[in-house]
Amino acid sequence: MKNITDGCLISPIQADKCIDRLQSDQQVKDVVFEISSVSADERDRVLEAVSSIDNIESIYLLGKQPETKEERNAFFTRFDKVCIFCEDEGQLAVQCVLNMANNCRIIANECVEAGNKDIAREHFQRGMDLYDRLRKFIDGTRPAAS
């Protein structure tokens, strides 16, 4: 995922350090957590803290979802900033990058409306770069034709 997003992801760090960092860096909007090795209680504690940070808009989780439909519904109701929760790293990467590229487009359109064409160009370009890297990622994960 780091390659697709042009290195905008940070390496995993301890949960408490992550929360401190997210609270101090108002530019971070999206976070990805690999949670397969933590208990549900620890996962929920971290998600409560991260969800309460105003600048965080989207949370992506790599790990095993709650078992039942009712548990999943309750989980996504409780943690409404969670965009995707899956065990497939590729699926998570694709969804995350698609959302990031779409956000670039939205910001670029807002910049155009405000008359900031140079900044809009930068955001449009960033979105196009994300789509291009995503295409290369998908092409690299397809099985070779025989």
Picking from 6, 63, 4, 8, the residue whose alpha carbon sits closest to that of residue 30 is 8
Amino acid at 125: Q
**How much is the mean pLDDT over the chain?**
85
DSSP, residue by residue, 24-89: H-TT--EEEEE-TTS-HHHHHHHHHHHHT-TT--EEEEESPPPSSHHHHHHHHHH-TTEEEEES-H
pLDDT of residue 122: 96
**Per residue in 116-132, pLDDT tens?**
999 999 999 999 999 99
**Per residue in 18-51, pLDDT tens?**
777 787 877 788 888 888 888 889 899 989 999 9
Q: Is the pLDDT of residue 139 over 90?
A: no
pLDDT of residue 107: 95
pLDDT of residue 5: 56
**Per residue in 51-71, pLDDT tens?**
999 988 999 998 999 989 999
pLDDT of residue 44: 92
